[in-house]
Chains A and B, each alone.
Chain A
């Protein structure tokens, strides 16, 4: 069963084309992440799915019905916003119950669903508080609870973790993953953070300039990127690119190699350069090396290594780990 089907969706604001011919299917129970740099149209796409923006062209199908003309509230979706967007004048309980009251659900049904959601998100103690009396993490949980109580066919998350600090972000990320497992619902999640995309998604959709660049599971995209953009976008620290002639390749081509696939060669390494910066993280050591003709490259070593700035380093890699791109950035 298809939870969401987009066919040839386009969106323009005046003369500016923000979304260009997007085709996409989301299967029931899938966790799909839209990822891309800022301004790539991922939030606009989410808003088109939600019905907050009209598609200029194309159709949006949710659960088999074309919903282009359906108002957001009737599409069977629920959305969690980056800024939480809680109603400031309502208590936590009423925030969660409002949509159900609008749907004219019976009272005990509302009470039951709010109770279940608040238990799931451990919000029981805060039900009578106003949003202004909650911390950022709690507010985001209320926003998620407000989505859960509606029991939607499709959950939409618009960068829900961007306003949280690093530790809380990780916790909430795990909570969202758990939520997906226990609810078994279809979810669409928009983020610009590749870590969130890699850790949460069952399917990643990489967007760039309003177009879908590649669709696939996180490991597919990591191991087999379609082009230089996807290769550089996923993975942290990001992939190193250098002109192929440096290692004896063809003119106009470039080679990509991930920092963790580079290794220090004691003698005869194909890449030789000067260490300009060392980041010692304890578990990992990231070394920035200026390689003549290839530019600055990142080398990721596991464990702790006594490397100093200014040292000369020879590096090498296995050809099987490297990627070859043509001048237009496509895989060769």
Chain B
């Protein structure tokens, strides 16, 4: 913004609002982090105090490492999230390309049908999904989760991506056709790189719900060797006794990979969100 349009009062006000919101948004994360490094007594005595020489303790992290195969959980979560995202982006982008690019009978209807999933939560179908997984023998496999999350993510992916695909220049695709590129090459080499910001947006929107989900891992894959991180952390929460050190430590560690991925995607994400609005 140039100087002539800058009003010190407005600048101060907008920063105050933004800072307040940042503090509110980061506060729970902050509380989890500091308390994960404290002894159990210190957590309850002064939940908001920083760990000091007296209260500092790594007992939570030690419990997490000892009990259960935490790295296995971690790996399961990672596999499920990355594989689901891959399939959501691949099939979502392909469907979006077809809807945006080709004129065929029932194009609009198909688009609406695919977007239906945005309005109907997938959890409504849990019982049917469980029956399906039991009869296909996929219960207690990571595939069960990957398939469900792919289905869950596709509607929004198709909806967002088809909008972006329409903005890709027709001339470019036609130039490819005249130069003898196949429709697949046009899709993968010409169109996908141009909608990368939109892909990042879809990836971030899908990543966090999948990573954090407790519902489907609990129902479809509760076995020890396929437990996800969120489900694995639940062992520390009991009906009568909860090992708060361990819960807080597990949660702190669970935040990390999501944060790393978010930092990677964030630049693209912002471009994806704003590009439709300002152009």
Contact = CB atoms under 8 A, between A and B. Distances in A.
Contact of B179 (A73, A84, A88, A158): A73
A120 interface: no
A83 B172 CA distance: 8
B236 to A, nearest CB: 49
A72 B178 contact: yes
Contacts of B169: 83, 85
B172 A52 contact: no
Contact of A81 (B171, B181, B190, B194): B171
A72 B172 contact: no
B180 A103 contact: yes
Sort chain A's interface into a size bin: 20 to 34
A288 interface: no
A159 B102 CA distance: 24
Nearest to B189: A89
Which applies to chain B's interface (DSSP): helix, strand, loop or mixed?
A: helix
Interface in A62-87: 71-74, 77-79, 81-87
A83 B180 contact: no
A52 B186 CA distance: 14
Contacts, number: 57
A284 to B, nearest CB: 37
B267 interface: no
Contacts of B190: 87
Nearest to B179: A99
A78 B178 contact: yes
B169, B177, B180: which has the most chain A beta carbons within 10 Å? B180
Given A87-B190, A88-B193, A89-B193, A50 B171 contact: no
A237 to B, nearest CB: 32
Contacts of B194: 88
B175 interface: yes
Contacts of B181: 73, 98, 102
Contacts of A82: 171
B171 A72 contact: no
Contacts of B175: 79, 81, 85-87, 146
A72 B178 CA distance: 5
A58 B263 CA distance: 57
Contacts of B193: 88-89
A85 B172 contact: yes
Contact of A71 (B172, B174, B177): B177
Interface in B170-217: 171-172, 174-181, 189-190, 193-194
Contact of B172 (A77, A78, A87, A98): A87
A87 B194 CA distance: 11
A134 to B, nearest CB: 16
Given A85-B169, A87-B172, A79 B178 contact: yes
Most-contacted residue by chain B among A78, A85, A88, A98 (CB, 10 A): A85
A77 B172 CA distance: 16
Given A50-B178, A51-B177, A71-B177, 14 more contacts: A47-B174, A52-B178, A73-B179, A77-B178, A79-B174, A81-B174, A83-B172, A85-B171, A87-B175, A87-B176, A87-B189, A88-B193, A88-B194, A103-B180
25 contacts: A47-B174, A50-B178, A52-B174, A52-B177, A52-B178, A72-B177, A72-B178, A73-B178, A73-B181, A78-B178, A79-B175, A81-B171, A82-B171, A83-B169, A83-B171, A85-B171, A85-B174, A87-B172, A87-B176, A87-B190, A88-B194, A89-B193, A99-B178, A99-B180, A103-B180
* 10 A-B pairs with the lowest CB-CB distances in the bound complex, closest first: A73-B180, A102-B180, A85-B171, A99-B179, A81-B171, A85-B175, A85-B172, A72-B178, A83-B171, A72-B177
